[in-house]
């Protein structure tokens, strides 16, 4: 099943990224193509799309949604947005990376904005992020600030790249014990409150703006990543071409996070598979062997630590953590090899042809 709805009415956009002056929407070629991949998050996806429409007033945009065979009638709800969205409703779940690659094929904007369906755009965040991109074109990739649903800062919108040192700190629990330390919590950029513009290694795929020319030059996301890790791989490959991903605190969204995951253990298992695949792509063989050992130690050490605390405090939250980490440790045979390599490129999709 495929439904296609074109977004034709776009806000005015001046030469310098400011409003065209009339304040009236007009038909125009999009500057940014907003790509949203949904999977069983109907209500959140609808709220996300409405927030885009309400908060993006200056930059001309188009919205392309790929629904990964949701069973909650997400596609039907999205199709009812009266011509504001181009929808690709798939029969199979092809994962986050491949779905974004599919959406990007039909994109027309100068920029691509990857936006999770479990987000809300705040205070013209997309307009603001595009202005930062126009003012700092050499970065190639740009990201903004994310908040939890209760408006607390969510620091996970940007990261430093994973290293054997950062994995060792996680396996030994040093990152959890000293979260504000830039040394022991290096991957999470400990001690930085996301309150200043800064070059980073990784921009999270929940709110990532990239120049379409750079995306095409990189071939989009590596199809080996089914979920998680694809944006880290993209940013690391982009850096080899001279890109310097840039974070700005002026563009802010809400990111609820993990909305499509049934269990926390399932999310962590996918995350670990992605980390192994990143090692396979970007680390030497000796570093990879060390890294896989440290990655296996991580859930074991967290399980044992949580279980020890439960034996003393009988705290139910700690008990749930202990059970989750035990499950991740016991299923290590499933994730220690990373994601399987795709056999062939994804086939063309009918939605990319003439509508």
Residue 195 domain-assigned? no
The model's pTM: 0.88
Q: Are residues 48 and 140 in the same domain?
A: yes
Q: Are residues 60 and 136 in the same domain?
A: yes
Mean pLDDT score, 161-190: 96
Among 260, 282, 310, which residue terminates a domain? 260
pLDDT of residue 81: 85
Residue 62 domain-assigned? yes
Residue 128's CATH number: 3.90.550.10
Residue 350 domain-assigned? no
Report angle CA 210, 48, 348 to the nearest 5 degrees: 55
What pairing do the DSSP bridges indicate for beta strands 246-255 and 198-199? antiparallel
Q: Is the pLDDT of residue 235 over 80?
A: yes
pLDDT digits (tens, 9 = 90+) for 34-86: 999 999 999 999 999 999 999 999 999 999 999 999 999 999 999 988 677 99
Q: Are residues 295 and 208 in the same domain?
A: no
Report d(CA 96, CA 76) in Å as an integer. 20
Nearest residue to 298 via CA among 120, 172, 114, 143:
172
Max intra-chain CA distance, the chain: 67
The DSSP-derived string for 140-185 is -EEEEEEE-TTS-EEGGGEEPPP-HHHHHHHHTTHHHH-TT-TTTT
Q: Do the beta carbons of residue 142 and residue 238 sit within 8 Å?
A: no
Mean pLDDT score, 138-161: 97
Q: Is the pLDDT of residue 11 over 70?
A: no
Q: Are residues 224 and 248 in the same domain?
A: yes
Q: Are residues 98 and 125 in the same domain?
A: yes
List Cβ neighbours of 80 (8 Å cut-off, separation of 6 or more): none
Report d(CA 27, CA 86) in Å as an integer. 16
Strand, helix or coil at 193? coil
Q: Are residues 230 and 92 in the same domain?
A: yes
pLDDT of residue 340: 87
Residue 277 domain-assigned? yes
> Per-residue confidence at 127, pLDDT binned at 50, 70, 90?
very high
Among 236, 260, 284, which residue terminates a domain? 260
pLDDT exceeding 90 applies to what percent of the chain? Answer: 79
- For 146, counting Cβ atoms within 10 Å of its Cβ (0-12 exposed, 13-18 middle, 19+ buried), the class is buried
Among 260, 279, 302, which residue terminates a domain? 260
pLDDT digits (tens, 9 = 90+) for 319-348: 999 999 999 999 999 999 999 887 544 444
Q: Are residues 156 and 275 in the same domain?
A: no
Q: Are residues 127 and 274 in the same domain?
A: no
Q: Are residues 206 and 299 in the same domain?
A: no
Q: Are residues 154 and 55 in the same domain?
A: yes
Q: Are residues 143 and 272 in the same domain?
A: no
Residue 100 domain-assigned? yes
Number of domains in the chain: 2
Give the range of the structural domain holding residue 38, as residue numbers without chain letter: 32-160+200-260
Residue 12 domain-assigned? no
pLDDT of residue 155: 96
> Per-residue confidence at 350, pLDDT binned at 50, 70, 90?
very low
Residue 152 domain-assigned? yes
Q: Are residues 240 and 274 in the same domain?
A: no
């Amino acid at each position: 099943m495929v439904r296609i709805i074109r977004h034709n009415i776009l806000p005015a956009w001046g030469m310098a990224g400011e409003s065209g002056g009339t304040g009236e929407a007009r038909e125009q070629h999009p500057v940014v193509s907003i790509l949203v991949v949904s999977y069983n998050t109907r209500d959140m996806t609808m709220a996300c799309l409405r927030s885009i429409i309400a908060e993006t007033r200056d930059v001309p945009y188009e919205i392309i949604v790929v629904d990964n065979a949701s069973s909650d009638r997400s596609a039907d709800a999205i199709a009812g947005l009266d011509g504001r969205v181009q929808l690709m409703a798939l029969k199979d779940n092809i994962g986050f990376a491949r779905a974004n690659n599919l959406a990007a094929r039909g994109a027309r904007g100068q920029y691509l904005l990857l936006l999770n369906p479990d987000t809300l755009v705040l205070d013209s965040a997309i307009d603001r992020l595009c202005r930062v991109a126009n003012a700092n074109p050499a970065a190639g990739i740009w990201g903004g600030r994310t908040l939890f649903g209760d408006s607390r800062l969510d620091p996970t919108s940007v990261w430093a790249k994973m290293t054997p040192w950062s994995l060792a700190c996680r396996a030994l629990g040093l990152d959890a014990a000293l979260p504000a330390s830039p040394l022991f919590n290096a991957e999470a950029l400990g001690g930085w409150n996301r309150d200043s513009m800064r070059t980073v290694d990784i921009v999270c795929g929940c709110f990532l703006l990239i120049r379409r020319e750079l995306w095409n030059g990189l071939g989009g996301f590596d199809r080996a990543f089914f979920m998680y890790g694809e944006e880290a791989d993209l940013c690391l490959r982009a850096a080899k071409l001279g890109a310097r991903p840039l974070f700005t605190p002026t563009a802010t969204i809400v990111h609820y996070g993990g909305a499509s995951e049934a269990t926390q253990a399932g999310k962590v298992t996918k995350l670990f598979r992605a980390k192994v695949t990143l090692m396979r792509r970007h680390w030497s063989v000796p570093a990879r062997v060390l890294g896989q050992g440290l990655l296996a130690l991580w859930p074991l050490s967290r399980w044992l630590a949580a279980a020890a605390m439960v034996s003393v405090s009988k705290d139910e939250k700690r008990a749930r953590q202990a059970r989750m980490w035990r499950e991740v440790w016991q299923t290590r045979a499933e994730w220690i090899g990373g994601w399987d390599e795709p056999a062939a490129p994804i086939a063309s999709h009918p939605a990319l042809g003439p509508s």
